[in-house]
A and B are shown apart, each in its own frame.
Chain A
Amino acid sequence: MHISDGVLPTSVAVGSYAVTIALMAWSIRKTRGDELPKVAVVTSSFFVASLIHVPLGPTSVHLLIPGLVGILLGNSAFVSIALGLLLQSLLFQFGGITAWGANSLMMGLPALSAGWIFELIKGRTLFRNVLAGAICGGFGVMLAGVILALLLFTSGEDFLGVAKIALIAHLPVIVIEAVISAFTVSFLYKVKPELLKTAFTAAS
Chain B
Amino acid sequence: MLTPDVVAQNSESAPSGQSPQKPGEAKTWSDNTCQSAQCEQIIAQLQQQKSLITRELAQIKREIALLRETLSEPGLQEVFAGIGYILGLVGIAFYVHCRKSGKDS
Interface residues of A (CB under 8 A from B): 33-34, 36-37, 39-40, 43-44, 47-48, 51, 83-84, 87-88, 91-94
Contact = CB atoms under 8 A, between A and B. Distances in A.
B92 to A, nearest CB: 10
B94 to A, nearest CB: 4
Contacts of A93: 72, 74
Contact of B94 (A33, A44, A83, A92): A33
A118 to B, nearest CB: 23
B83 A36 contact: no
B79 interface: yes
B3 to A, nearest CB: 37
A37 B78 contact: no
13 contacts: A36-B97, A40-B86, A40-B87, A40-B90, A43-B90, A44-B82, A44-B87, A48-B82, A87-B86, A91-B78, A91-B81, A92-B78, A93-B72
Contact of A48 (B79, B89, B94, B101): B79
Given A51-B74, A87-B86, 16 more contacts: A33-B98, A33-B101, A34-B97, A36-B97, A37-B90, A43-B86, A44-B82, A44-B86, A44-B87, A48-B82, A51-B79, A83-B86, A91-B74, A92-B74, A92-B82, A93-B74
Contacts of B98: 33
A39 B90 contact: yes
A87 B85 contact: yes
A33 to B, nearest CB: 3
Contacts of B101: 33
What DSSP secondary structure best describes chain A's contact surface? Answer: helix
B50 to A, nearest CB: 32
Given A33-B94, A33-B98, A36-B97, A44 B74 contact: no
A21 to B, nearest CB: 16
A91 B81 CA distance: 8
B20 interface: no
B97 A88 contact: no
Nearest to A38: B90
A130 to B, nearest CB: 28
A31 to B, nearest CB: 8
Nearest to B81: A91
The listed residue with most A CB atoms (<10 A of its CB), out of B85, B90, B94, is: B90
B42 interface: no
B6 to A, nearest CB: 41
A186 B30 CA distance: 93
Nearest to B91: A40
A48 B83 contact: yes
